[in-house]
Amino acid sequence: MNCIEIINTNFELLGIITNYESLICVWNYYECGTFELTINKNKANTNKLQKGNMIIVNKRDDKILLIDKRVTSTNKNSKTLKITGTCIKGLTKRRIIATNGYDRVTETQAENIIKHYIKKHMVESYFDDIRTPERDISWVKIAPTQNRGIKTVWQARLTNLHDELKHISEDTGLGWYGYIDRNEKCIYFDSIRGTDRTINQTENPNTHDFLSKYTHKELEGYTHEELQGTVKHPFIIFSEKKKNLLEGKTTDDDTNYKNVGYAAGKGENEDRLITVIGTATGFDRREVYIDLNNIEDPEELKQEGQKKLDTYKTIKSVEGKVYQIPNMEYEKDFFLGDLVTIESDGIYEDKRIIQAKEIYERNNITVELGFGDKVPSLGEEIKRIITRPIL
């Protein structure tokens, strides 16, 4: 039976609810997810669903929700309570990279960069070199590093902490999440690296070529158990033929795509340092101006300019409900952040599972997955357009 536990910031159990009408949770690999809980207000323990309290879904220590909003609607003789908020990663939305100069991280693994910013601006906070304990959240901790992810450098100043972590994650492919430690009564933040479960994974020399020989009937009956012992991670393939990806929606969008950037660094007027990034020509060339006025080193300008240019990418995504067939079950055989293979009309593409929407109703759970790039909302696109570096 689906249930939710309600706790406060002292990690005291306030109540348990099993008879809610619906719970919709959206978990995201790169950024903070959201949730919406609908319940009759007259049911037990609804008075515990207060702003600032937390919800644990199905006793899963890695599925923690933070209540931000309550809305009560009255209809004849009944009252409906709608509770919304974010996953526990939403705590990072409450902080900015508070510095006078730039908070720079020298070359190190992506996990260390993510944890550096969380620590310095939420756990053991500093404004430049000045300790700012008033910014700490005493019950937030950072899990020991395992030095995961690619090596890179990063710098940030006066941007939202959550947005910066999202950018680091998208740039490096390394996810992050929060989980509760019931013994220590705290929330730990940690990194997560999805597993390659594609048909092109490096542990296996075969590619999709061998699958192209399968008949329709054989492909429908294909399960990854057939390949156990031949690959390190069994293949996960989603396709309409296999009947495990339903009501699919595919997006291929070049609206905001740019491939040549004019990165402008330190200096004024004709003395300003400018470098061109990208080599596209003619009709295929799409230019954008990138303002990086704090950078005076040409190599650093090129590197940071490339990061900014990469954000103007083609959006390619697939969304759809997942029908869980044997040997291909969500959170048993594949997980949020994993790389999987999508097949459509005989074309195979490898995509990361970046989002999982879980819909809990009575004793039923429906899962909708998002693969590849997230299609930005209007609000997100406006925010990206108007965002400018702080002078």
Residue 78 pLDDT exceeds 90? no
Q: Which domains does the chain have, with CATH numbers?
A: 4-91 (2.40.30), 95-193 (3.55.50), 208-253+315-372 (no CATH), 260-310 (no CATH)
Give the model's pLDDT for residue 24. 96
Residue 51 pLDDT exceeds 60? yes
pLDDT digits (tens, 9 = 90+) for 222-248: 554 554 444 556 778 887 776 677 666
Distance between CA 26 and CA 22 in Å, rounded? 13
- Give me 333's structure tokens: 């055989």
Rounded mean pLDDT of the chain?
84
Q: Max CA-CA distance within the chain?
A: 72
Q: How far apart are the first and last CA of the chain?
A: 54
Using 50, 70 and 90 to split pLDDT, how confident is the model at 389? very low
pLDDT digits (tens, 9 = 90+) for 165-203: 999 999 899 999 999 999 999 999 999 999 888 877 765
Report CA Rg, the chain. Answer: 23
Residue 69 pLDDT exceeds 90? yes
- The H or E element spanning position 365 is strand 364-372
Q: Quick one: average pLDDT of 88-107?
A: 92
Lowest mean pLDDT among 56-65, 82-91, 108-117, 380-389: 380-389
Residue 1 pLDDT exceeds 80? no
Q: What is the dihedral of CA 290, 294, 300, 306, to 10 degrees?
A: -20
pLDDT digits (tens, 9 = 90+) for 318-364: 666 666 666 678 898 889 999 988 877 777 788 899 999 999 987 78
- Give me 353's structure tokens: 């599972």
Using 50, 70 and 90 to split pLDDT, how confident is the model at 93? very high
Q: Quick one: average pLDDT of 103-110?
A: 91
Using 50, 70 and 90 to split pLDDT, how confident is the model at 391? very low
Give the model's pLDDT for residue 383. 44
Q: What is the dihedral of CA 332, 169, 144, 127, to 10 degrees?
A: -150
Give the model's pLDDT for residue 211. 55
Give the model's pLDDT for residue 182. 96
The answer, as to whether pTM is greater than 0.85, is: no
Give the model's pLDDT for residue 342. 83
Q: Do 41 and 9 contact (CB within 8 A), yes or no?
A: no
